[in-house]
Amino acid sequence: MTQQEHDALMAEMRALRIYRIIRFRQGSNPRTIRNNVTLTEAQAHCSREDTHGVRGGVRWFDGYDYMRGCRPKGE
């Protein structure tokens, strides 16, 4: 397998993964706020200006994580 074929295969595998969006707050446990999103959806969500900040003196942000063992919708 060439490096180019390997890279293409890895990109395809990443595209098939399912992610969850997690809200992180300073001083408390993370909380899942959305499940079953694609990498593109997760990255778009976490890039928005309204997904991080300070409320009531507490820093927070949204991040994402791979949902191990999950398959894309429709499979």
Q: What does the pLDDT look like over 33-52, one tens digit per residue?
A: 999 898 889 999 999 999 99
pLDDT at residue 4 is higher than 70 = yes
- DSSP character for 74? T
Is the distance from CB of 61 to CB of 52 less than 8 angstroms?
yes
3-state SS class at 73: coil
Reported pTM: 0.71
Is the distance from CB of 11 to CB of 26 less than 8 angstroms?
no
pLDDT at residue 24 is higher than 70 = yes
Cα separation, 42 vs 34, whole angstroms: 9
Average pLDDT over all residues of the chain: 87
3-state SS class at 9: helix
* Single-letter code of the amino acid located at 75: E
